[in-house]
């Protein structure tokens, strides 16, 4: 296999917390928004790299439910970058046979951005290459809130005896998507920040010091190599 990965297990699903855009820009005496723009370019390349390496699912944390508390100018810039990215992603998904899904509470986004997301998801739904998930206005606690489950129970769609983890997962944003085997958080920070709280119960975690705009295929391979050094027992001996 290319890239010196022969004999290594490739994780089916990799999730990435893309951290360090602001610090990357600050080191270059540039505004934080410059880092976010560069970070968006890295996402496009990592999608191609992930597929080339045999990864089937890639999920990135683009904007959390807590990010609304950032300065309004930064939030506005991030939303504009997301609009631009959704348009670019439409072209890239077609060119690369890539299915794109957005997870999170899309109802809080501006109407034009919701429309771009809906068009992208519809256009790419039958593509069979990389499955790419973008977590946008996403929060793990918000996702696993039991209101939807309670409403469906009240409507008689299932009994308490039928309620189990498998049924509960049907109400998550990631329905039909396997749990991540490997979670990467760039910049060296070691916390989940409300990302995929249910889904990462048995994931392996990797925290490279590299800031997100400097993340590349070489760094992704390092993460896969570290993943292969772990002994995954899933609570067993």
164 belongs to the catalytic site: no
19 belongs to the catalytic site: yes
C-beta separation of 213 from 37 below 8 A:
no
H or E element: which one contains 16? strand 13-17
At residue 137, φ and ψ (nearest 5 deg) are 50, 50
Out of 3, 4, 19, 126, pick the active-site residue.
Answer: 19
Residue 83 buriedness (CB in 10 A; 0-12 / 13-18 / 19+): middle
C-beta separation of 180 from 206 below 8 A:
no
Kindly provide the residue ranges of all beta strands, DSSP E only, lying in the chain, ordered along the sequence: 13-17, 57-64, 99-103, 131-138, 182-185, 204-206
User: Who contacts 234 (Cβ-Cβ below 8 Å, separation ≥6)?
Assistant: 202
Out of 3, 4, 67, 194, pick the active-site residue.
Answer: 67
Distance CA 135, CA 93 (A): 17
Structure tokens at 188: 């060296």
Structure tokens at 75: 């939030």
Catalytic residues: 19, 67
């Amino acid at each position: 296999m290319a890239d010196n990965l022969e004999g290594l297990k490739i994780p089916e699903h990799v999730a990435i917390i893309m951290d360090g855009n602001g610090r990357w820009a600050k080191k270059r005496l540039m505004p934080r928004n410059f880092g976010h723009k560069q970070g968006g370019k890295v996402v496009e390349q990592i999608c191609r790299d992930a597929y080339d390496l045999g990864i089937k699912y890639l999920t990135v944390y683009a904007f959390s439910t807590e990010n609304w508390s950032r300065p309004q100018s930064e939030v506005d810039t991030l939303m504009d970058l997301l609009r631009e990215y959704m348009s670019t992603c439409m072209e890239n998904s077609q060119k690369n046979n890539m299915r794109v899904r957005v997870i999170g509470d899309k109802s809080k986004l501006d109407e034009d951005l919701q429309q771009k997301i809906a068009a992208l998801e519809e256009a790419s739904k039958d593509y069979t290459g990389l499955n790419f998930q973008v977590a946008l206005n996403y929060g793990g606690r918000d996702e696993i809130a039991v209101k939807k489950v309670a409403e469906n129970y009240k409507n008689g769609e299932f009994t308490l005896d039928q309620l189990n983890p498998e049924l509960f997962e049907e109400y998550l944003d990631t329905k039909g998507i396997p749990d991540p085997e490997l979670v990467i958080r760039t910049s060296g920070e070691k916390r989940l920040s409300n990302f995929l709280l249910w889904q990462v119960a048995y994931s392996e975690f990797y925290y490279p010091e590299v800031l997100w705009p400097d993340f590349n295929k070489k760094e992704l391979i390092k993460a896969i190599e570290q993943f292969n050094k772990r002994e995954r027992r899933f609570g067993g001996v």
